[in-house]
């Protein structure tokens, strides 16, 4: 099995300025299961084929989430500090026990409909303020409108509080990127985490006092009152939803705008109604694959992709490589806006499959629909700056100019 010393997969810089898709594509073709070492002794196995990534996702009994789902999220043999108490780092049976109330309170049909209406309203209002000739950074001015709407509904907070919460979660995920933090990344991470936890705890306190259960936080507070959840579990999962919701869709939206600007002829098919917004949305999700990988720890030997990964090994499941696997996708390295039967894995699979997937899909679809109905368009005018992160694929800067819709690609 290929062993890579000082692998570029550890390097946030490589993901910002290098070509990680090409590197992972090479692994997928020649070494679908490989080992990546770092000078300090940390190592993980990397899975790059769609079939292997999928098989690993659904093997949650042998591939544990509770040791952290990010590289460096925790160190063996200690588990993550939120282990067993927060969805993303919980195994069975705790995972199921937590998922029920989070899903019932935040991800039911009514919440989805309310979220959709709020997100559409926010996007429309933001677009209506723009005039032909305006120049702006899409990633900071417009993209945050998507998760803001979700926070407003799920957390029952106003737009300003939603914006403040967004800033704090952004620092948590992009804490190695100097666009978000100053000189001391780890201090920023800890401060931001404490801030978010504090905000959510205050909201739970308010809902416990008022008894209102109209939003997800209120529902979680009710579960605390009934004894179904402890208060710290309720707070930690509020954090999980806030981070999951805030640090993904704005990047997807920015990369979507960048793609539209590069592929005006394909985009016109959506504007003209030849391709439906839901089909286009699935391809934007595949093409952008905002969450590049997740990590697991093998708690037993696992035979996968023709290799045996020994118990005790970290395993990374590369969504971005799976989503460009030629065994599953025709012309995988091309953006194909009307791609049929799109089995994109951007949200993962199995019991941990993104609980926010319907919300995220709706956000992007609303965004696509509002852009298609807009009488204007964004043209990228400068070099997009990619996020310094090997975990999130996104943009920290996307300079755009507003043009008349008919001038896109002219």
Q: Does 150 bind ligand HEM (CB under 6 A)?
A: yes
Q: Is the Cβ–Cβ distance between 111 and 154 less than 8 Å?
A: yes
Question: Residue 4 or 288: which CB sits closer to ligand HEM?
Answer: 288
Q: Binding segment for ligand HEM among 11-19, 130-138, 186-194, 286-294 (CB under 6 A)?
A: 286-294
Q: Which residue's beta carbon is nearest to the bound ligand HEM?
A: 356
Asked whether position 256 contacts ligand HEM by CB under 6 A, the answer is no
**Residue 240 makes contact with ligand HEM by CB under 6 A:** yes
Return the number of the residue (4 or 355) whose C-beta is nearest ligand HEM.
Answer: 355
Is 294 a residue that touches ligand HEM (CB under 6 A)? yes
Backbone angles phi, psi at 295, to 5 degrees: -110, 150
Quick check: 245 binds ligand HEM (CB under 6 A)? Answer: yes
Backbone angles phi, psi at 110, to 5 degrees: -70, -40
CB of 339 to ligand HEM, least distance (A): 17
What is the smallest separation between the CB atom of 47 and ligand HEM, expressed in angstroms? Answer: 13
Question: Is the C-alpha dihedral spanning 369, 370, 373, 375 positive or negative?
Answer: negative
220 binds ligand HEM (CB under 6 A): no
| Alpha-carbon radius of gyration of the chain | 21
**In this chain, which of 139, 249, 313, 389 binds ligand HEM, going by CB under 6 A?**
249
For the stretch 222-225, contacts whose Cβ atoms lie closer than 8 Å and that sit 24 or more positions apart, written own/partner, are: 223/101, 223/105
For 149, 194, 253, the CA distances from 159, given in Å and listed in that order, are 8, 21, 19
Structure tokens at 226: 């009934």
Q: Indicate which single residue of 248, 277, 292, 313 sits in contact with ligand HEM (rule: CB under 6 A).
A: 248
Closer residue to ligand HEM, CB minimum distance, 107 or 267: 107
Instruction: List binders of ligand HEM among 331-390 (CB under 6 A).
Output: 346-348, 352, 354-356, 359-360
Q: Which of 197, 200, 201, 196 is nearest to 167 (CA)?
A: 196
For the bound state, the minimum distance from the C-beta of residue 60 to ligand HEM, rounded and expressed in Å, comes to: 9
Q: Which stretch binds ligand HEM (CB under 6 A): 13-21, 178-186, 204-212, 238-246?
A: 238-246
Q: 68 and 44 in contact (C-beta within 8 Å)?
A: no
Query: Half-sphere exposure of residue 294, counting CA atoms within 13 Å on the CB side?
Result: 28
Binders in 173-212 for ligand HEM, by CB under 6 A:
none
The burial class, CB within 10 Å (0-12 / 13-18 / 19+), for 308 is middle
CA end-to-end distance (rounded Å), the chain:
50
C-alpha 342/C-alpha 53 separation (Å) is 16
Q: Based on the shown chain and the rule CB under 6 A, indicate whether residue 266 belongs to the binding site for ligand HEM.
A: no
Q: How far is the CB of 133 from ligand HEM (least distance, A)?
A: 31
In the block, which residue shows the tokens 């905002």? 290
Contact between 151 and 185 under an 8 Å Cβ cutoff? The reply is no
In this structure, what is the dihedral angle of CA atoms 43, 47, 48, 50, given to the nearest 10 degrees?
-160
296, β-bridge pairs: 315
By rule CB under 6 A, what string of x and - marks binding of each residue 88-117 to ligand HEM?
x----------x------------------
Which of 34, 74, 281, 290 binds ligand HEM (CB under 6 A)? It is 290
Residue 313 beta carbon to ligand HEM: minimum distance, rounded to whole angstroms: 17
Nearer of residues 116 and 408 to ligand HEM, judged by Cβ: 116
Judged by the rule CB under 6 A, the positions of this chain that interact with ligand HEM are 65, 69, 87-88, 99, 150, 240-241, 244-245, 248-249, 252, 290-291, 294, 319, 346-348, 352, 354-356, 359-360
């Amino acid at each position: 099995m290929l062993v890579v010393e000082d692998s570029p997969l550890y390097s946030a810089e490589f993901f910002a300025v290098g070509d990680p898709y090409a590197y992972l594509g090479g692994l997928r073709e020649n070494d679908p299961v490989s080992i990546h070492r770092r000078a300090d002794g940390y190592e993980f196995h990397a899975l790059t084929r769609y079939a292997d990534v999928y098989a690993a996702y659904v093997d949650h009994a042998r591939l544990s989430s509770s040791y952290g789902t990010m590289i460096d999220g925790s160190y063996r043999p200690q588990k993550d500090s939120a282990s067993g108490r927060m969805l993303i780092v919980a195994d069975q049976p705790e995972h199921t026990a937590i998922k029920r109330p989070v899903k019932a309170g935040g991800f039911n049909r009514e919440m989805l409909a309310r979220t959709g209406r709020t997100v559409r309203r926010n996007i429309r209002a933001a677009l209506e303020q723009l005039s032909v000739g305006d120049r702006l950074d899409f990633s900071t001015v417009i993209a945050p409108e998507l998760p803001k709407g979700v926070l407003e509904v799920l957390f029952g907070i106003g737009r300003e509080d939603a914006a403040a919460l967004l800033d704090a979660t952004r620092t948590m995920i992009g804490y190695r990127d100097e666009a978000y933090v100053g000189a001391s990344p780890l201090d920023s991470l800890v401060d931001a985490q404490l801030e978010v936890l504090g905000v959510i705890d205050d909201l739970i306190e308010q809902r416990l006092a008022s008894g209102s259960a109209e939003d997800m936080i209120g529902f979680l507070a009710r579960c605390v009152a009934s004894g179904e959840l402890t208060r710290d579990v309720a707070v930690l999962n509020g954090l999980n939803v806030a981070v999951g919701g805030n640090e993904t869709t704005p990047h997807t939206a920015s990369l979507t705008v960048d793609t539209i600007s590069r592929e005006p002829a394909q985009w016109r098919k959506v504007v003209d109604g030849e391709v439906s917004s839901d089909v286009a949305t699935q391809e934007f999700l595949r093409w952008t694959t905002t969450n590049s990988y997740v990590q697991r720890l093998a708690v037993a030997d696992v035979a996968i992709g023709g290799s045996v990964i020994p118990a005790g090994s970290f395993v990374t499941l590369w969504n971005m490589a799976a989503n460009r696997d030629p065994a599953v996708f025709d012309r995988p390295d091309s953006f194909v806006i009307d791609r049929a039967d799109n089995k994109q894995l951007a949200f993962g699979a199995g019991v941990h499959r993104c609980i926010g997937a319907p919300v995220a899909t709706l956000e992007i679809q609303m965004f696509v629909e509002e852009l298609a109905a807009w009488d204007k368009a964004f043209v990228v005018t400068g070099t997009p700056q990619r996020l310094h992160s090997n975990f999130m694929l996104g943009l920290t800067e996307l300079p755009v100019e507003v043009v008349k819709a008919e001038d896109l690609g002219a």
